[in-house]
C-alpha cells in the first residue's frame, strides 16, 4: 500500500496508463524534431531565404537599406 502525501490517498496496485507512457515517449521525440527544424533553418518559414525576402519587403534588413528617392 502506497500513501501519497495524505492518508486518504492510497494505491495498492496503480499502473501507469498506456497513453501516459506513449506521451512520455512521443512528445520528447516530437520536440527534438521540431527543435532541429527550428534551429536548422531549412524548412518552410524557418528557411533563411524566406525570411530574407520578408525583411526586404518590410524594409527591416540590417544594416537598413535606404530607398533611392528621385
Domain boundaries, the chain: 2-58
Distances (CA, A) of 50 to 3, 20, 29, 42, 65: 56, 38, 26, 10, 18
- Whole-model pTM: value is 0.42
| pLDDT tens per residue across span 21-39 | 999 999 999 999 888 877 7
From first to last of its 70 residues, the chain has per-residue pLDDT tens of 565 666 676 677 778 889 999 999 999 999 998 888 777 656 666 566 677 777 778 877 666 555 665 5
Amino acid at each position: 500500500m502506497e500513501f501519497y502525501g495524505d492518508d486518504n490517498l492510497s494505491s495498492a496496485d496503480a499502473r501507469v496508463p498506456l497513453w501516459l507512457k506513449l506521451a512520455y515517449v512521443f512528445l520528447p521525440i516530437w520536440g527534438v524534431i521540431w527543435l532541429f527544424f527550428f534551429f536548422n533553418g531549412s524548412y518552410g518559414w524557418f528557411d533563411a531565404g524566406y525570411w530574407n525576402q520578408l525583411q526586404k519587403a518590410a524594409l527591416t534588413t540590417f544594416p537598413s537599406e535606404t530607398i533611392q528617392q528621385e
